[in-house]
Structure 1
Amino acid sequence: MTLAESVRKIPQWKIEEVEYLTKLFREYPVFAIADITGFPTKHLQILRKKLSGRVVFRVSRNKLVLIAMKRAGIDTSLFEKILSGPNLLLFTKMNAFELYGEIEKHKSKTYYKPGEIADKEIIIPEGDTGIPPGPMLSVFGKLKIPTRVQANTIVVAKDTVVAKPGDKISEDLASLLQKLDLPLKEVLLKIKYVYDRGVVIPGDRLKIDINEYVNSILKAQIQAINLGVEIVWPEREILERVIVKAYREARAIVVESSFITSETIDEIIRSAHFKAYMLAIELSKRGVDIGIKIEKPIIEEKREEKVVKKEEREEEKEKTVSEEELAEGLGAIFG
């Protein structure tokens, strides 16, 4: 048998499928591989409808998918291991995290079936069930749900936990949940891997807390700006802050050293007046009569001065004046 004859025997639908998949792999920079084992067809159709126009859904044979990947120039070494069982391919131009976010946003709920495992606590709520008394009373009894009959219907006396995470769903519980119209099982498409512009991301790495992520970025930005100010990084935004910081620090040094200029004279006088006031207060606490009336100074601080001097003044208020400082202060006041 010649090679040409063996090629002719390949079904036409397989050739067309590989060509179509190859086109999708080349056209879309991002694709996901999802496990659809046991995934309800109804919910898959709903998801397809909601993501129509942004995501292309395709179910195909795994061998044909690998052939198409190779033709599109994608390294298949990883996918050869994970392409087993029934899979769904999702092609998109969104990034991997956007795609996962859209899938999670449109997750739905269905009824638990007998034998399935509860993924969270199941509670039968208090209230009228609308179910007439009869055989169902025994079901409530088996599940240890307190009830009473009122107006010819079964009423649940209080919220009752009937299953915890990891518990197997019994036939009685599955039946009751359907009768009470409680579809509590979350249906979310399980993403195995996402290929995003050459980067392969495992499905369990795709779920992120957006608010936490944004806060982390803002925090990193603030830290980066502060570091830039400290090392005087030559960027416009940084240099503006550096100039303001340098001006404040220089002004504080000038005032502290009592270097008099037309810009600092008022602030130096206010600072001296304040220190004298604090010294007088401390002397009065110790019973020293300095022979003058102590009046609280009126200090009109500029906004920027408050920022520079706030911590320093708070420390001065709390600090205990030593005997030497008292002597120096008295000498300054009385000569």
Structure 2
Amino acid sequence: MAIYTQHLPAWKREEVEEIVDNSGKYELVGLVDIYGIPAKQFQQIRRNLHGSAVVKVARNTLVEHAFNELGNHYVDLNGHVSEHSALIFANGNPFKLFKSLEQTKTKRAAKAGEVTPEDIVVPAGPTSFKPGPIVGELQQAGIPAAIDGGKVKIKETKTVVKAGQAINKKQADVLAKLDIKPMPVGLSLLAVCYEGDIYLPDVLSVDDEAYKAKITLAAQQAFNLAVNAAVPTSCHFVTEAQIAKAVREARNLGVEAPIYEKGVIEMIISKAYRQANALKA
């Protein structure tokens, strides 16, 4: 029995042992934030992940006991345990796990005091509201509104709350009435331990298309550098381009010199003919 759990009641030791056992069964162990997820939706998320990942809610103290018992890099996960965190066990790599969790997220209405992860923008245009107190409520929330044609109209597109700012009660109430749902609902990966390393969201959040574009640009720049600098490579595409460039440059030199050689004389005559016509004109 590990020294971290020998003083615990039997049911708590079993909980810790389950966490330790799962850590050995799966390729990665992580922590997810489950704050704000309704119980019904949380159960649905668990069902959706069935077969690919296991989510387990446990007391923070027991989670920390388990990580301490596992030792090594698992201990570093203790720094990411929070009030609303849960364990996740999965196979594969952390990048795929992060992406799959992000793709399953939905949106919900904001609550007063919550910090928005993105700018909340209310577009200009008509609403379904009839004239009444809603006009004042919109204006108090920082949204310019007026009555137009018997309906309430938002006069201009407005950024009500910027990313990283807290949403006050008036803003939350108005956004809910406008059916604007800015808060993501789903499992947010806090940290994951994989093959001895700890991965955080800022590393795992990779824009696939932007990454591919960077690789493509790098390949193009490397190709151009190799061709223009005449760097010998084992890539036949580069070699073919280098030879083609050398042939073009040799022909151009032959024409400008001029050097009366086979394959060049025709170009020299053509150049002389063009110059003669230009002079005549």
Category of TM-score, reference length = shorter chain:
0.7 to 0.9
Is 1:276 matched with 2:269? yes
Partner of residue 126, structure 2? 127
2:251 and 2:125 map into 1 onto residues whose CA distance is 74
Task: Please report how far the alpha carbon of residue 65 of structure 1 lies from its aligned counterpart in structure 2 after TM superposition.
Answer: 2.5
1:266-315 CA-to-partner distances (Å, cap 9, x unmatched) read x954520220231244355556xxxxxxxxxxxxxxxxxxxxxxxxxxxx
2:106 and 2:28 map into 1 onto residues whose CA distance is 24
User: Does 86-95 or 139-148 show the bigger shift?
Assistant: 139-148
Partner of residue 145, structure 2? 146
1:174 and 1:248 map into 2 onto residues whose CA distance is 64
| AA matched with 1:88 | A
The 5-angstrom pairing of residues 164-203 of structure 1 reads: 164-165=161-162, 168-187=166-185, 189-203=187-201
| AA matched with 1:28 | Y
Q: Which runs of 5+ in 1 are unaligned?
A: 1-5, 258-266, 288-335
Is 1:161 matched with 2:162? no
1:80 and 1:157 map into 2 onto residues whose CA distance is 48
Partner of residue 202, structure 2? 204
Partner of residue 20, structure 2? 22
Percent identity over paired residues: 24
TM-score using structure 1 length = 0.63
1:255 and 1:170 map into 2 onto residues whose CA distance is 71
Whose relative contact order is higher, 1 or 2, with alpha carbons under 8 Å and at least 6 apart?
Answer: 2
2:21 and 2:205 map into 1 onto residues whose CA distance is 29
Relative distance call for 1:161 and 1:95 in structure 2 (3 A) is same
Relative distance call for 1:125 and 1:270 in structure 2 (3 A) is same
Partner of residue 43, structure 2? 45
| AA matched with 1:273 | E
1:155-181 CA-to-partner distances (Å, cap 9, x unmatched) read 325345271315543433322332333
**What secondary structure is seen at the aligned counterpart in 2 of 1:56?**
strand
Q: Which has the larger radius of gyration?
A: 1
Partner of residue 100, structure 1? 98
| AA matched with 1:163 | V
The 5-angstrom pairing of residues 255-274 of structure 1 reads: 269-274=262-267
Is 1:231 matched with 2:232? yes
**What secondary structure is seen at the aligned counterpart in 2 of 1:208?**
coil
1:213 and 1:149 map into 2 onto residues whose CA distance is 47
2:178 and 2:248 map into 1 onto residues whose CA distance is 75
Over aligned residues, Cα RMSD in angstroms? 3.9
Relative distance call for 1:256 and 1:157 in structure 2 (3 A) is closer
Task: Please report how far the alpha carbon of residue 199 of structure 1 lies from its aligned counterpart in structure 2 after TM superposition.
Answer: 1.8
Relative distance call for 1:241 and 1:137 in structure 2 (3 A) is closer
User: Does 271-280 or 205-214 show the bigger shift?
Assistant: 271-280
1:142 and 1:249 map into 2 onto residues whose CA distance is 71
Aligned partners of 1:107 and 1:187 also within 8 Å: yes
Relative distance call for 1:147 and 1:93 in structure 2 (3 A) is same
1:55 and 1:10 map into 2 onto residues whose CA distance is 28
Relative distance call for 1:248 and 1:115 in structure 2 (3 A) is closer
Relative distance call for 1:241 and 1:84 in structure 2 (3 A) is closer
TM-score using structure 2 length = 0.73
Identify the match of residue 110 of structure 2 among 102, 109, 112.
112
1:195 and 1:227 map into 2 onto residues whose CA distance is 40
Relative distance call for 1:159 and 1:185 in structure 2 (3 A) is farther
Partner of residue 302, structure 1? none
User: Does 195-204 or 28-37 show the bigger shift?
Assistant: 28-37
2:68 and 2:262 map into 1 onto residues whose CA distance is 81
Q: How many positions carry a matched residue from both structures? A: 267
**What secondary structure is seen at the aligned counterpart in 1 of 2:179?**
coil
| AA matched with 1:230 | V
1:243 and 1:160 map into 2 onto residues whose CA distance is 55
1:58 and 1:186 map into 2 onto residues whose CA distance is 21
Aligned partners of 2:113 and 2:167 also within 8 Å: yes
Aligned partners of 2:124 and 2:155 also within 8 Å: yes
2:176 and 2:241 map into 1 onto residues whose CA distance is 68
2:34 and 2:26 map into 1 onto residues whose CA distance is 21
1:249 and 1:137 map into 2 onto residues whose CA distance is 73
